[in-house]
Structure 1
Amino acid sequence: MPSQPPSTGPSSAGSVPRAPDGTVVRYGPALTLLASLFFMWGFITVINNTLLPHLRSVFDLNYTETTLIESVWFIAYFVASIPSAKLIERIGYKKSLVVGLLVMAAGSLGMMLAASLPSYGVTLTMLFVIACGITLLQVAANPYVAVVGKPETASSRLNLVQAMNSAGTMLAPLFGAYLILGRSRGGTAEAGTVLTEAERIADAQSVILPYGLVAAVLIVLAIVIARFPLPAMGSANARGTKEERKHLSLWKHRNLVFGVPAIFIYLIAEIGVANLFVNFVAQPDIANLTYEEAGRYLTFLWAGMMVGRFAGSAIMQRFDAAKVLAVFSVGAFVVMIVTVFASGELAMWSLILVGLFHSIMFPTIFTLGIKGLGPLTEEGSGLLIMAIAGGALVVVQGWLADQYGLQLSFLLTAVCELYILFYALWGSKPTAALPEPEVVQEAA
């Protein structure tokens, strides 16, 4: 944070936050630790992108059934978001982060069980459990990062930390391609190869090692978070009394009302691209790759997300976040149109490039959506995280792929980019803004 003159009273937007004893609260170490959470949930989420073509081979699934796996993952966001907000209210942010990590670890251990059976139903259940843990982390960590510092740089700050999320998404395809696809018959065979029953069982068991490693890391991280003194949300972010809340309404805030569908629609675009990328570039008329090779190219998509977020964080220090969002949404629309109507490596690289344009969308929409919510920030955050359930509608793109072809299904993604443009230009403008929340105390 930029240096500011010392303050003797409660901190206000732009002043140095202080604990009750007058000492300055330092956020750097806490943000660094929280960045590791963003890394891990990005990493685990994107393992799904290599897991899906793997499970498609193991269980002999069509595109609709394959994308249904990811739909179950994102349904968890819808189911768990409001309970997560209530849990945070009850036990606090720090304990909620620990609980979220342990829930994710339990789901990862459950994936080892699902692989040893193997069972499609148990796989869906365990992915749902992992996603519930990630939902709790999202509801807690995103608004926390957004309010640590000056309100006008909230989008820049969240983009910077979300870049660590993208680092996780960039490395996950390499991890998945090597330990899942690279160690399975379905992952190393040519597209369209039919596996024997014995090969399917062997392939299913290839996920035991990677999910065991993930579970171990999550447990260690939960222990570290539990022992770390995180700064706590100040009183400005506390839920108002019943009398105060009679005069406060989330629905008076245009930026939130249009921000919830913006997150929902953006997730349809992002998850559709990521989940169908491997199948798309493996096609003979695109890049003609094996699933393992295509999984490696997926790394470039997520690398673009990481680079875009670092660049976006710097750009938003100088330019209005909504205007930057508008420019990126236009870029995303253009490359998706190229993907739909081009062929060969041009279509592959245009699809990879959409990662760069998608990079800033989630963190920027999120911070624009909670801007001016004041004591309603926690509830608004819960609604925005619930909207991540939009990723469940990737099954619609799966259906379009089955009916009209995989390449034409990306027209859905292009349409989604147009709504983001609308939100950037008009829907994100705040109405009925309340005082910004603060972070002023040192947690025990």
Structure 2
Amino acid sequence: MSTANVQTKWGQFIPLVTVFFFWGFVAASNDILIPVFKKAFSLSQGESQLVSVAFYVAYTVGSLIYMGISYLTKGDIINRIGYKNALALGLFISALGTLLFYPAANTGSFPLMLSGLFIVGLGFSLQQTVANPLAIALGPITTGSQRLTLAGGINNFGTTIGPLIVSFAIFGSAASANTDVSIESVKIPYLILGAAFIVVAILLKFSSLPDKVEAVVEIEDVTKPSKKSALHYPQLILGMIGIFVYVGVEVSTASNLPAYMETDLGFATKDIAPYISLYWASLMIGRWTGAVEAFSVTASLQKKLKFIAPYLAFGVFLAVNAIAQHDLTPFYVYALVIIVLIAADIASKGNPARMLLIFSTLGIVALLIGMSTTGMLSVYAFTSVGLFCSTLWPCIFTLAISGLGKNTNQGSNFLIMMIMGGGIVSWLQGAVSDATNIHFSYIVGVVCFAYLAFYAWRVSGILRSQGIDFDQKVSGGH
């Protein structure tokens, strides 16, 4: 790897992270569409979760299409057309998906709505494949994972404001008495979003972003040659399940929250948006904390920023909700919950396996508290799951690809394919809710976190047997 990149290329990095913003904006906005579609189309809770299924399974289908085309053409398709062209193509595909919202809204077609979301997800799959290595390449490799974490923080800014904007487009301002659910009100914000995709695609096409990036793969130990396939490594196989259940619990906790707040707590659909925003802002809070290391500052200042960053992110959440004219009084107490995040981050000492174990355990505790209580305490418990999910992607990703040598890129692609867990687990929780009740359905998330805690324990032994000790070598991820 070239050592020429001694500083982050902010002039290229900043326009790149606009696509990270879009991913978050759409993903979190789905949580507003779910209760709207449920009422408008008279769906069961399980059927309403098809919104998540359509969107997240598209990532896996897109990844398979990418692999298939690359195999048939005997070469990496992205390397052939260039990174900027691939990004622009992904944005145009997503824009085509948003266009389907117009006829879908006019005809009241749920399948056409799902088709639009699926195509948006297909475009996002290509963008993910391009943007992640680009973010790593735009600066020194030693801070590549922190740049991905920073990009994730921008992603979660999108998840924070997405539900608020889509809710406003459908229901009007928070002060409005409008409670009508109108499918036709969905088409305008998504057509505007599609136009934004096209504008950004054109801007990125003519930006200074590189068309090629230097491959980033783990240096292979010649005394321990790589196996023929990444699938021969147990840390990857178990890690693929880990990514599946992690994305699953992250998405399903939020996507089923509106149904819980409506059914058990009596909330109106139009009043749920700030709580969905808080959930996704919780991921932003955790990722802004982790992104501190992407900046070249002194160790002393870095320690202070570890405390400042999460509350700065919380301040962003409060600010955007104030602009949306939501009552902020219910949210101030959440500042106390953030202390738990900071303490857990310090206790992990940068070891991804230890962090995965601690945060998965906290996720189980949060869900059990939510399931065993009612009222606002249960809502705060469920939303705090976002805090404890915020660091899990880099932990799982790092542990799963460690020691893969020349198979690292192949292993990474397999992990990206497992993002479909966001849709499958959401549907599963919806089905459990239909069979029992929405409050009990969060047991699905408990099982997901329990597996992640097991993986944290098991993978440590696997990697130690391969000579990899994260107490001596601390590595990062997305």
Q: Could you say which TM-score interval applies, normalised by the shorter chain?
A: 0.7 to 0.9
Find out whether 1:42 has 2:24 as its counterpart: yes
Bigger mean CA deviation after superposition, 156-165 or 52-61: 156-165
- Aligned position for 1:296: 274
State the distance in 1 between where 2:226 and 2:283 align.
41
Bigger mean CA deviation after superposition, 135-144 or 66-75: 135-144
Deviation track 1:167-202 (CA, whole Å, cap 9, x = no partner) reads 100001101211124489xx954xxxxxxxxx77xx
Name which of 69, 74, 80 aligns with 2:51.
Answer: 69
Name which of 229, 239, 260 aligns with 2:208.
Answer: 229
Deviation track 1:390-428 (CA, whole Å, cap 9, x = no partner) reads 122121111100111000000110111112222233326
Deviation track 1:371-401 (CA, whole Å, cap 9, x = no partner) reads 4445434322221111001122121111100
- Aligned position for 1:92: 82
Unaligned runs of 5+ in 2: 71-76, 219-224, 293-305, 307-344, 469-478
Offset, 1:259: 1.6
Aligned 8 A contact 2:231 2:411 in 1:
no
Offset, 1:247: 5.4
Offset, 1:252: 3.7
Normalised by the length of structure 1, the TM-score is 0.81
Aligned 8 A contact 1:259 1:369 in 2:
yes
Change (3 A) 1:380 1:33: farther
Aligned 8 A contact 1:50 1:180 in 2:
no
Name which of 326, 347, 361 aligns with 1:330.
Answer: 361
Q: How does 1:286-365 map to 2 (within 5 A)?
A: 286=265, 288-314=266-292, 319-365=350-396
Offset, 1:311: 1.4
Name which of 208, 213, 225 aligns with 2:192.
Answer: 213
Normalised by the length of structure 2, the TM-score is 0.76
Name which of 254, 261, 265 aligns with 1:274.
Answer: 254
Bigger mean CA deviation after superposition, 48-57 or 134-143: 134-143
Deviation track 1:253-290 (CA, whole Å, cap 9, x = no partner) reads 3432222111101122111111111121223x43x221
Offset, 1:33: 2.0
Q: Letter of the aligned partner of 1:365 in structure 2?
A: I
Q: How does 1:347-426 map to 2 (within 5 A)?
A: 347-393=378-424, 394-426=426-458
Change (3 A) 1:50 1:206: same
- Aligned position for 1:195: none
Offset, 1:157: 3.2
Change (3 A) 1:255 1:143: farther
Offset, 1:130: 0.5
Aligned 8 A contact 1:163 1:309 in 2:
yes
Change (3 A) 1:35 1:371: farther
Unaligned runs of 5+ in 1: 1-9, 19-23, 190-198, 239-244, 434-444
State the distance in 2 between where 1:58 and 1:208 align.
14
State the distance in 2 between where 1:165 and 1:83 align.
25
Change (3 A) 1:361 1:422: same
State the distance in 2 between where 1:368 and 1:233 align.
24
Bigger mean CA deviation after superposition, 423-432 or 125-134: 423-432
Q: Letter of the aligned partner of 1:136 in structure 2?
A: L
Offset, 1:110: 1.4
Aligned 8 A contact 1:181 1:291 in 2:
no
User: Over aligned residues, Cα RMSD in angstroms?
Assistant: 2.8
Name which of 224, 249, 261 aligns with 2:229.
Answer: 249
Change (3 A) 1:290 1:359: same
